[in-house]
């Protein structure tokens, strides 16, 4: 008897606030093994907060997060470190270390999570760079790369540890449309070649339609609709339609910039506290 798809990640009734600002208000989300989930939503909707909670960089106020049926939201740092070994992440702006060469950036996770020798780390870094279409760049510095090349190096670093799950934070931000489409193609190719489970957060609908098996709309702290790209395109929900069409008129109103700044500052403060805890 067919048991149906295996759930890799499940988020249940997740809440997260910063001061009196409630960002996540009971998020429910399920991602199947080997599939790609794209979470869409406007600035300040909580997409980055959600992904940081999933990877354990932030502690939710309430709710549960399961990875392979293990509830991780209350794990201690040692337990969370083990869980993070299943994850690779492509950060919004690449987050490459300026003082390291390309291959050293790609090998960063291997250096800290394995006992491999430097020669082996460099060899694996070169293999992963070739996989994302980059060759003979190992000894360059990040400052010598274009925006698109930095994205590819970041992706090579994310896959270097051969993760089971890849997280993408706004993967096409800051690059031109042609390079953005190339990055989308790479994301699809990585999923197919490596059989990884993926979660991407974006406001770029062209990217969402291309890379997602399913798309979830996050609005006012909740998932208000989820479906295949075709189902989202044809949604009868006026909020979803306004967002995917990029219309200024409709039920979605602008977010107070001062609130975004306040939440961002509190997020950075919490990030710093979590880094201190890990030391």
Considering only CA atoms, which of 84, 218, 224 is closest in space to residue 161?
84
261 pLDDT band, cuts 50/70/90, is low
In the predicted structure, residue 233 carries a pLDDT above the cut 70: yes
How much is the pTM?
Answer: 0.83
pLDDT tens by residue, 132-189: 888 999 999 999 988 888 888 988 998 898 899 999 988 888 778 888 888 898 889 8
277 pLDDT band, cuts 50/70/90, is very low
Task: Measure CA of the first residue to CA of the last residue in the chain; give whole Å.
Answer: 48
At 74, phi and psi to the nearest 5?
Answer: -115, 20
229 pLDDT band, cuts 50/70/90, is very high
Q: DSSP letter for 162, please.
A: -
- Residue 198 in contact with residue 35, Cβ under 8 Å? yes
What is the distance between the alpha carbons of residues 24 and 11, in angstroms, rounded to a whole number?
Answer: 12
Name all domains of the chain by residue range, CATH numbers in brackets: 7-86+165-278 (3.40.50.300), 96-162 (no CATH)
Strand duo 222-227 + 214-219: pairing: antiparallel
Give burial (CB, 10 Å; 0-12/13-18/19+) of 188.
middle
Considering only CA atoms, which of 167, 228, 229, 172 is closest in space to residue 198?
167
In the predicted structure, residue 45 carries a pLDDT above the cut 50: yes
Q: Cα–Cα distances in Å, from 156 out to 140, 144, 148, 166?
A: 15, 17, 12, 11
């Amino acid at each position: 008897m067919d048991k149906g798809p295996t759930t890799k990640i499940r988020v249940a009734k997740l809440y997260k606030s910063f001061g009196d600002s409630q960002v996540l208000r009971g998020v429910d989300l399920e991602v199947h093994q080997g599939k790609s989930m794209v979470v869409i939503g406007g600035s300040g909707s909580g997409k980055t907060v959600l992904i940081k909670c999933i990877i354990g960089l932030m502690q939710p106020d309430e709710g549960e997060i399961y990875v392979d049926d293990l509830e991780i939201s209350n794990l201690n740092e040692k337990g969370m470190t083990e869980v993070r070994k299943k994850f690779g992440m492509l950060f919004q702006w690449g987050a490459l270390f300026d003082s390291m060469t390309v291959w050293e950036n790609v090998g960063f996770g291997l250096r800290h999570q394995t006992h491999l020798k430097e020669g082996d780390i460099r060899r694996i870094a070169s293999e992963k760079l070739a996989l994302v279409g980059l060759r003979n760049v190992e000894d360059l510095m990040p400052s010598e790369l274009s925006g698109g090349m930095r994205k590819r190096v970041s992706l090579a670093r994310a896959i270097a540890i051969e993760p089971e799950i890849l997280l993408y934070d706004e993967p096409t931000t800051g690059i031109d449309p042609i390079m953005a489409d190339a990055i989308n193609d790479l994301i699809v190719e990585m999923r197919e070649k490596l059989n990884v489970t993926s979660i991407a957060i974006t406001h770029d609908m062209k990217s969402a339609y291309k890379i997602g098996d399913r798309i979830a709309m996050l609005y006012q702290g909740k998932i208000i609709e989820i479906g295949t790209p075709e189902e989202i395109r044809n949604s009868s929900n006026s909020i979803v339609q306004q967002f995917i069409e990029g219309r200024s008129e409709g039920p979605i109103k602008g977010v107070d910039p001062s609130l975004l700044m306040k939440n961002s500052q509190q997020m950075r403060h919490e990030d710093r506290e979590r880094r201190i805890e890990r030391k």
